Amino acid sequence: MADRIPASEPVGLTAVIARLRDDGVSLIELSFVDNAGNVRVKAVPLERLAAATRFGVGASPCFETFTFDDVMVPGRYLGGPDGDLRLVPDVHRLVRLAALPGWAWAPADKFTQDGERFVGCQRAFAARQVRAAADLGLTASAAFEHEWVLGRDDTEDFVPAFDGPAYGQIRVEATAGYARELAAALHEQGLDVQQFHPEYALGQVELSVAASDPVAAADDAVLVRHTVRSVARRHGWRASFAPCLVPGGGGSGGHLHLSVHDEDGNLFAGGSGPHGLRPAGEAFLAGVLRELPALLAIGAGNPASFLRLKPSSWAGVWQVWGREAREAALRLITGTTGTEQWAANAEVKCFDATANPYLAVGAVLAAGLAGVREELRLPGEVTGDPAALDERARESAGIRRLPTNPAEAADALAASAVLADAMGPEMHDAMLTVRRAEAERFADADPEELVAATRWRW
């Protein structure tokens, strides 16, 4: 990923434009994700794509400190009404949108008007962590799980689009046509669907796609959710990735799966450590485990996220790890016998779709790489439900609850030297500005108010 706007248009762009024109594309959507997790866009006619790759498209830097509900709160370094950025599309990820006829999409990188990489570019942050891993001889693969709820499109309230038991065949019958069209659209856009199934909460389904490099995985997350919403509207439904649509009910997560390899293979398999962990793999997970309270501010720091983050709900509210432990925030998945080298991975269960996916993958990588450098070791794993233990037993076992509100999570991020160093002062402060502003403004909101404010934002 270049540190300056490229001096010439990408090789083969003329052929790409001609192919898109033949496919009926007339508009190109350029997207970036702000620190509150909202996807922002600028669009250009197809004929302007070449110019956009050379000179970018203007966008205000104010979005770096926009809260999720579009309130501008200037930070110490970023935000406010002044200045301009250039959004440069990554044409290597340019794809015709199967569910939006006449449109194509590409993720955008952010540069200054002088052509330098913008210090707040979240996509570049993820790419820096990939390079930091490479400096240690490591490569990572990542993927997000996507949980969402389908509601009727004729009301601002949430009315489930279908009924039926969790994981039930009745739900498949109700969503069969939608799922088939969605899978076909994703396949047409180059994404490899791994699984689709009805989930636990009202009107909820889940889909996963194949793992990719961390930056591509974040791109994929944006594209999957865009496609999910577009196909839902074709069926008279409205899709929401918000963490909670029914206070007290099940919520939607955005779990991050990650594996790390060196020249000898998967760090999470084939070793002599717990469940086959190799020393560097254990150190990586120990680094992630240590930073989980701070990571929560990035991966699930919205006020509504804490309506989902409840004990005994498989949301991962405990700062512990365990093999296939669904109440642990960090779950080790080893795969079935014979698949460990390609299947073993770690899942960060506490995240949801309010996260900027580039920040999520980058921050988890940064935390894990710090663990590798420091040769950290994991504490004992946890099994079962920590909520079933009394407070004294949890304290004795070293079981700690993750932050229970957005202000606590922001304080943990502020205290994290690892993430402050990885993000840099400008991005770190912008993230804190957003989370603290949201925490303050919604400190007295009741669950119904939070749900109403967030249900259709993601």
Convert the pLDDT of each residue in 192-230 to its tens digit: 999 999 888 899 999 999 999 999 999 999 999 999 999
Give mean pLDDT, residues 282-306.
98
Mean pLDDT of the chain: 95
pLDDT at 73 over 90: yes
**What is the structure's pLDDT at 267?**
98
Structure letter (DSSP) for residue 117: B
What's the pLDDT score for residue 218?
A: 98
Read off the pLDDT of each residue in 360-384 and give the average, rounded to a whole number: 97
pTM of the shown model:
0.96
Distance CA 80, CA 61 (A): 7
Distance CA 296, CA 288 (A): 11
Task: Report residue 334 as tokens.
Answer: 């080893």
Q: Is the dihedral of CA 224, 19, 8, 115 positive or negative?
A: negative
pLDDT in tens, 181-198: 999 999 999 999 999 998
Query: How many helices (H) and strands (E) in the chain?
Result: 13, 15
pLDDT of residue 4: 87
Which pLDDT value is given to residue 11? 81
Q: Is the confidence at residue 383, as pLDDT, over 80?
A: yes
300-346 pLDDT, tens per residue? 999 999 999 999 999 999 999 999 999 999 999 998 888 889 899 99
pLDDT band at 81 (very low <50, low <70, confident <90, very high): confident
* Interval 413-445: pLDDT, tens: 999 999 999 999 999 999 999 999 999 999 999
Structure tokens at 256: 């991050």
Q: Which of 23-37, 116-130, 282-296, 324-338 has the lowest mean pLDDT?
A: 324-338
Instruction: Give the pLDDT score at 2.
Output: 76
7: pLDDT strictly greater than 90: no
Q: What is the pLDDT of residue 166?
A: 87
CB atoms within 10 A of CB 131: 9
Across 96-124, average pLDDT? 97
Residue 223 CB partners (closer than 8 Å, separation 6+): 95, 105, 189, 191
Residue 315, helix vs strand vs coil: coil
- One-letter identity of residue 38: N
Domains and CATH numbers, the chain: 13-119 (3.10.20.70), 128-454 (3.30.590.10)
